[in-house]
Structures are given as C-alpha cells and as structure tokens.
Chain A
Amino acid sequence: MKSTAHAVGHLLWAAWPPLLTVLVICVIWGLCHYVFEIPAYLVPTPLAVGQTAWESREPLALGGLRTALTALAGFGVAAIGGVILGAMMGTSRMLTRGLYPITTLLQTVPLVAIAPLLVVWFGYGPPSAIAAAAIAAIFPVIANTVDGLRSVDPGLSELFSQLRAKPGQRWRLLALPSSLPGIITGLRIAAGLAVIGTLIGEFVGGYSGENASLGMIILSAMRQSRTDLVFAAVGFAAVVGFALFGVVNAAGWLLLHTWHPSAQGGGSLAAWK
C-alpha cells in the first residue's frame, strides 16, 4: 500500500511540470490566435481541437488502438530481430563486416521511399505498416546490441576464461547481462521510431473508413481541410508513442534498477547538479 501511494506521488511529482508546460503553450497559442486572427483552417484554436477530440473520441480511440497494436507488433519484430542480428554481429567479425553496412544503408534510405514497395509486398492494412515500423525501429536495436556486446569488461572476460567457461555459459552469464543496458537504450529509441514508422506505413497503405487507423484519419482529415481533426489525431498519436516508450522504460527499470547506475538515478550526470 505504502509503495503504491509512493508511486502515485512520484507520478504526480513527475507529471506536473510537463502538464504546466502544455497549459502555458495552449494559453500562448490561444492568445496568438486571438491577436493575429489566424484562420481556423490553418491553425485551429486549442479549444476547437479539444472539442473535436471529444466529439470524435470513438473513431480516434479505436484508430489509436489500431495504431498502437500495429506499432507494438512492429516494435516486437524490431526488438527480437534487432537483438538476434546484433548478437550475431557482436559475436562474429565476418558477419559484422557483411551485415553492418547493409543495415546502415537501410537506415539511410528514407522510409517514405520504400513504404510503397512494402504495400506491394505485404498488401494494404496492418502488415505493411508493421513492416514499416520494424524497418524504422530496428537499426538502434542492432547498433546498441553490437555496442553492448563489444563493451564487455575485459577483466570479467579474462575471469571467465580462467574459470574455463563454455561459449554458451559465457553468452548467458556474461555477454547478455553486460549488454542489457545497451539493448534497453536501443529499445527506448526504437519505441518512438516504431510509432513514426507505423504512421508512415498507414499513410501509404492504411485502410480508410470504418477500420481507419490514426495515420489514415490524419490523411483523410487533411484532404477535407479538417485541421482541427488533424491536430486531435496527432495528439492521440503522441499519446500512443508516449505509452509505448513508457512501457519500455518501465521494463528497463525493472531489469536494471538493482545493479546498473543508469537506472538508479545516480549516474555520473547526477554529480553535475
């Protein structure tokens, strides 16, 4: 009970400064609207956005849920695939030389350029959006896994040699835990990228009408010059991204807080305050 109250207190303590910031921005935004007489089709007032969000809450929430599930699936593919690929590259120099440039290339080709191809391959609807999310999110997972595996403490590595550890044991008991902080960092970045990838995938190949996801809602609202609905849908997309990021962060904390300085609020940066 005490810890629950503590957690709620901590959440409130963490939430009020960003909430205040949002409130201040809305006030300034409303004032600008009033003073400069900006037309509503360019930028709607915060109140109009709020009203539209409330009126369209059902399609927006359903669309948000679809987008969230798609992003989650894409994130899952990127997380599992990225850790496996990163692990392969972290173990073998030859594989790194063969695969790393290709993944970097994948990273530098704009997703919007390959999204139409994904629709051709995977068809309309969620599958192509999942693929887009996975492609957008996989690179940081690979890069951070490789980095984590390469930064295993050489002293500990020597200890495992002296104790005659088998390759499998070295993997399970040394390499994996050592690279966990890096993998978590990669997953945090991947969470945000997965939502961006999903939206791009939905722009190009999403369903419209009844089964519309957030990407399609944004696109069709744009075509109808419903700027207020675009704003509301973008707000929902931000919530989806924030939620996914929050889940990854919480999982990372659970795995690391007992031993890693990054999860104890006491890394080297704490000394800078």
Chain B
Amino acid sequence: MTQSRRSDGACGLELSAVSAVFAAGGGCTGVSLRVAAGECVAVVGASGCGKTTLLRIAAGLLAPQTGKAQCIDAAGQPLPLASARISVCFQDPRLLPWRRALGNVELPLALAGEARAERRSRASAALATVGLQEAAAKRPHQLSGGMRMRVGLARAMVTDPQILLMDEPCGALDAISRRDINLELARLRQQTGTTMLLVTHAIDEAVMLADRVAVMGGSPGTLWEVIEIPPSLHESDAANGPAFARLCVTIHEALVRVRQGAP
C-alpha cells in the first residue's frame, strides 16, 4: 500500500540479507525487509534480538558485515542510502542541553547550512505540529519526558524526511504521553506519507501505526514472520474494537512461538 503524497519523490527502504553480529553478542543476521515508499513497518521482538542494530544499519550509522541496505524509489528502483533524507528518532530524545527547544529543532537545518530566518520559521512550524509552540524558549531540563520526546520528534520531522526511523520512541513514556505521541505519528503519516520503520516493544503501538509488523527473535536476531495489518485498523476508533485486540493477540502468540524457537 502506497500512501505517499510527496511531490519530491517518495523513498522506500530495502534491506537485503543484512548481518551485523557483535563479538559481545547480539546483533542481527540475514534479515531481508522491504519497506515500500509511504509504507510503515513495525519491528517487534524481545530485547537483544537486533532490532536496534537493524535500525542503525538502515540509518547508515552501521555498515552491515554482509548484505546490503539501500533506498528504493516509488517504482522500486534502488538508490544509495545517502541520497535520501533520513531522520532518526532515537530511544532517548538526545537533545543538546545548552540549546532551547527551538534551537534543538533547528539543529538539522543549521547543520545543512540553512539561513537563520528560514530555519527559525521551519522549526517553529515543526514545534507547533507536535503542540509545543509555547515551550520553544525552554531548555530540555525544563521539559517533561514526554515533551522532550516530542521535541525530538519535531527535530526529526523538521527536515521533511523521506524516511523516518524510530527506535522505541515511546519506550520511556507513561501511557498517556505514549498515546499522544502515537496519535501524533498517525496524523503525521496521514499528512506527509513519510516512509516509516518503527522499532517497538508495544504491540498495540505497532498495530495502530504499521501496515505490516515484522517479528524478530533469537540472538543474533533473524526475521521470523511478517504480519499484515488491515488498513481499517488505522481508523481513529479502531483501537477499541475486537479486530484490533485479536490482531494484538496474534502478534503476541507469534512472539511467544519465536521465544520457544518454533515458527
């Protein structure tokens, strides 16, 4: 399913049999995963099964030992990873403590050499999308955990990324903040059609946001199965319905099977 409404060429992601195994243990091996332009794929699995490693390979922060990570255009043709605008939301928001919220959101634009006025207005707009325009002048230590995460999300979105990679963006948040951010992400997706790869522990989050859920397991981790999510479950009140709950149970059972080693 391609939802992209981008004018500047939507971009997907293709991981072909990538491996990165560490001497200290962990990592992933032989993972092939294709995220079409405009699609959102969630990766679930137990701790230490290589989810974050997979994300770092996709972000170009880690070169795979074998296999290949590349982008694909809307027609499925391969492009080098460096040619796409990729943003990453890390597990912790990673804000610069000496910069105000607005300055943190401006950072990617400043590094790209944007003019001051331009980056200020774009950063303000990005802060407004995550509902934080009032906190623009605050420094990270003056913000709550949920607000910091939202500043991180605004920083990821300010460059209008073609691909957004998220590593447990809500891992450290309380249930209400998590729900807020999830709704925010769902809305952003509706608006921009950004391609997303979401690493998460929360099954409901995966079902709510993703078109497909990839289940990983083992150490070093491999991809065990991919579960399709019907688009009807992304509607605003679907999360309270029985179909949503059934799918969550299906994914949970898959995770249990993976842990017992029987796909």
Contact = CB atoms under 8 A, between A and B. Distances in A.
B139 A259 contact: yes
A162 B60 contact: yes
Contacts of B108: 163
B75 interface: no
Contact of B61 (A162, A180, A260): A162
A156 B104 CA distance: 12
A175 B107 CA distance: 15
Looking at A155, A158, A162, which has the most chain B CB atoms within 10 Å of its CB? A162
Give the secondary structure class of B's interface.
loop
B117 interface: no
Interface in A146-202: 153, 155-156, 158-166, 169, 173-174, 177, 180
A258 B139 contact: yes
Contact of B111 (A169, A177, A180, A259): A169
A36 to B, nearest CB: 56
Contact of A163 (B92, B98, B111, B140): B111
Interface residues of A, number: 21
Give the secondary structure class of A's interface.
helix
B90 A155 contact: yes
B98 A158 contact: no
B13 interface: no
Given A173-B111, A259-B139, A161 B61 contact: yes
B90 A259 contact: no
Contacts, number: 45
Interface in B87-128: 88, 90, 92, 94, 96-98, 107-108, 110-111
Contacts of B59: 162
Contacts of B61: 158, 161-162
B111 A165 contact: yes
A161 B107 CA distance: 13
A162 B82 CA distance: 10
B179 interface: no
A260 B141 CA distance: 9
Contacts of A259: 97-98, 139-141
A259 B141 CA distance: 7
A173 B107 contact: yes
A268 to B, nearest CB: 14
A160 B111 CA distance: 9
Nearest to A180: B98
Given A162-B61, A258-B139, A155 B107 contact: no
A173 B90 CA distance: 19
B110 A173 contact: yes
B97 to A, nearest CB: 5
A155 B98 contact: no
Contacts of B97: 259-260
A143 B12 CA distance: 47
Nearest to B140: A259
A165 to B, nearest CB: 5
Contacts of A163: 107-108, 111
Contact of A155 (B94, B111, B139): B94
A163 B106 CA distance: 12
A229 B97 CA distance: 50
Given A162-B88, A165-B111, A173-B111, A156 B96 contact: yes
A162 B140 CA distance: 21
Contact of A177 (B88, B92, B96, B110): B96
A177 B98 contact: yes
Contacts of B60: 162
Contacts of B92: 155
A177 B96 CA distance: 9
B153 to A, nearest CB: 14
Nearest to A159: B94
Nearest to A169: B111
26 contacts: A153-B94, A155-B94, A158-B61, A158-B90, A159-B88, A160-B111, A162-B61, A162-B88, A163-B107, A163-B108, A165-B111, A166-B111, A169-B110, A169-B111, A173-B96, A173-B110, A174-B96, A177-B98, A259-B97, A259-B98, A259-B139, A259-B140, A259-B141, A260-B97, A260-B98, A261-B141
Interface of A: 153, 155-156, 158-166, 169, 173-174, 177, 180, 258-261
Interface of B: 59-61, 86, 88, 90, 92, 94, 96-98, 107-108, 110-111, 139-141
- Which 3 interchain pairs have the tightest Cβ spacing? A259-B98, A159-B94, A259-B97
